[in-house]
Amino acid sequence: MAYSPEARQILDGPEARHLAKVLRIRPGEEIRLLDGQGRSGRFTVLNLEKNSVELAPLQVEKLPRPGNRCWLAAAYTKAARRSWLLEKSVELEAGGIWFWQAEHSQAKAPEVGKENWQDQLIAGAKQCFNPWLPELRTFPGGARQLADYAAGSPVESCSAYQPNFSRRILLWEDASEDMLLTEADFAPTPDQPGDGNTLFVMGPEGGLSAGEADLFSQSGFKCVSLGKRILRWETAALLCLGLGFWARQRLAIPQSE
């Protein structure tokens, strides 16, 4: 839905039906809407039809795109907790969730993201009121395609915004104990270019191949460990996003580009 403070708006589709049939909104009530791209507004309900809701804007704001967010590039897997991870990624303000084809992936990564993935992000946004949805992207071409894109090379069907990463981190089960992820890995330094965004790359539950680990390392990724404990795919993913969320609060990193 495109917001405009000067004109009445029509909300249609599943969200309109949810308002009318599930929430039973009535004319005269006030609601809050997000578009997932930084726009947030308060609206008065004017009229409800079977598949549409007519709204009058009360206040609409466009927020600047946040900087210093975490992107997670997770090897594609059949993990049953994928939908749960997508919802939590919105709560933890992830910049993007990418799925890439690893040599040990349990399934083949699709060419484009699945429609229900976006629905799961929207469900998370409605719960926490985050006006920015994470970017969904797939890399069926494997580690090389992912590494090239992370370094700034464009790919087909690229979104208008391509993140610039100050920190590119490879989560590697073979990293030594002195390579643990630390608070300093999130801190801005003068020699780090870009807007402070961090990209985490993690392999499938079967682990990275030696060739994939070498490729990422040679492409400028810092290899780190999350500790001695063997973590499930979704646990490691959520831990990284949670650490990034915590670091933004703890280190008071500026939140806008």
User: Can you give the length of the chain in residues?
Assistant: 257
Q: Would strands 9-12 and 30-34 be described as parallel, antiparallel, or unpaired?
A: unpaired
Q: What are the beta bridge partners of residue 100?
A: 75, 139
Across 194-220, average pLDDT: 88
* pLDDT of 43 above 90: yes
Q: What are the beta bridge partners of residue 170?
A: 201, 223
∠ CA 243-140-70, nearest 5°, is: 15
| 159 Cβ contact list (under 8 Å, min separation 6) | 135, 137
Render pLDDT for 135-162 as a digit per residue (tens, 0 to 9): 999 999 999 999 999 988 766 555 556 7
- Residue tagged 């927020």 (tokens): 63
Contact (Cβ atoms closer than 8 angstroms) between residue 224 and residue 179: yes
| 182 Cβ contact list (under 8 Å, min separation 6) | none
* pLDDT of 2 above 70: no
Q: What are the beta bridge partners of residue 12?
A: 52
Amino acid, single-letter form, for residue 98: W
- The domain limits of the chain are 9-62, 70-250
CATH placement of domain 70-250: 3.40.1280.10
CATH placement of domain 9-62: 2.40.240.20
Q: Would strands 30-34 and 39-48 be described as parallel, antiparallel, or unpaired?
A: antiparallel
Across 188-210, average pLDDT: 76
- Residue tagged 């403070």 (tokens): 5
Render pLDDT for 110-120 as a digit per residue (tens, 0 to 9): 998 888 899 89
